[in-house]
Amino acid sequence: AVKRGDLARVRELVKSDPALLNSRTKRGLSPVLVAIYSGQKVAAANLIAMGADLDIHDAAATGRLDRVKALVERDPSLANAVSPEGFAPMGLAAYLGHEEVVEYLVSKGAEVNFTSAPTGFTALTGAVNSRHTRIVDLLLQHGAEVNHVYEGTLTPLVNAVANGDANLVRVLLDHGADPNLGAYEGKSALDLAMEKGLKEIADALRQRGATKWQPGTAKGAAPIATPDARGFMEKVRKAMNTHDLEGLLTLIDAEYQSEQPAHPDRAFQGREQVRKNWGTIFERVPNLRADIIRIAVDGDTLWTEWWWHGVRVDGTKFDYRGITLFRVWNERVVAGRLYMEPVQERKKEGPYGGPP
């Protein structure tokens, strides 16, 4: 009856047996907590009105600050009491959105990073999961572990991204959340944001260093032999110098991930964007030449020092130097990191550094 929110039946049962108000389930839950967990707030309020005796966990879960205060003032240890389910009062209050209760319990020495043994949940993970941003901020200000990992690979940030909550993501990042830590169903925070089309969140993650550039071997590929690496990069160079756009694209994976750490807003995903970018370059720099200065191999990653140069159709110089890191699998680039920058023109100086 409580789970269904059948108030008439609840009143009838309590009238026939008042002891039911303070009974417990096999899990140790009171009728009030059963009502709260079932989303039956009205039923919970009615049980309290009928005289249910609230313990510290009931009071925290229902947001009854006066009752929480009365219990903790009488016995301060209750601020960290663990329920039969393994939850502390503050964890319940945080999860259910009772900010004043959380604030009070913090002031009374409640352990901010208490972890529920069965689940790994903390007050922070509960607040994040329920999207209570103010409580999240409050907990973080009092030392909550922003990079707590639970349920194997989840983090508060990954959870916030999965929920599409940009404001919550920003709060977590501002408090030091690692954008590259954790995953949901094998997908990082950045993966989730891109998959869901959450551009604002993806941009915020990149600005704090999120990357798809993960250490290890791309898709389980074997390390590349140096002669093979040079041969592969020669194909790339030749396609650039002959303006062979289609030939260049055959060397790029369909799900190619590109990023420029010095310019995070230029990151993109997909081979079609490569087509657009290099199509534009070939059109604007008709005599483009790409020269390889040197190549180094690190596992599946090719480090290449480049000089890209030519003259644009408007007569201005096109002159870039720098490094690219390409991760290669099955003869295709699956991810790239570019550190290419325009070459600064030398200043004309006299023999002692002054004007000539």
Statement: 218-342 belongs to CATH 3.30.450.20 = no
What are the boundaries of each domain within the chain?
7-207, 218-342
Type of residue found at 130: S
The 10s digit of each residue's pLDDT in 60-73 is 999 999 999 999 99
Which pLDDT score is estimated for 113?
97
Whether residue 124 has pLDDT greater than 70: yes
> Which tokens belong to 169?
């993501």
CATH class for domain 7-207?
Answer: mainly alpha
Which pLDDT score is estimated for 217?
47
Which pLDDT score is estimated for 94?
97
Whether residue 224 has pLDDT greater than 90: no
Taking residues 223-248, report their average pLDDT.
88
Closest Cα partner for 153 from 125, 184, 115?
184
The 10s digit of each residue's pLDDT in 270-322 is 899 999 999 999 999 999 999 999 999 988 789 999 999 999 999 999 999 99
Q: What b/e sequence results for 84-109 when a residue is b if at least 16 CB atoms lie within 10 Å of its CB, and e otherwise?
A: ebebbbbbbbbbbbbbebbbbbbebe
8 Å CB contact between 179 and 157: yes
Q: What is the dihedral of CA 30, 33, 38, 42, to 10 degrees?
A: 100
Whether residue 354 has pLDDT greater than 60: no
What is the value of pTM for the model shown?
0.68
Closest Cα partner for 267 from 216, 219, 210, 217?
210
Angle between helices 99-107 and 65-74 (to 10 degrees): 20
Taking residues 239-253, report their average pLDDT.
96
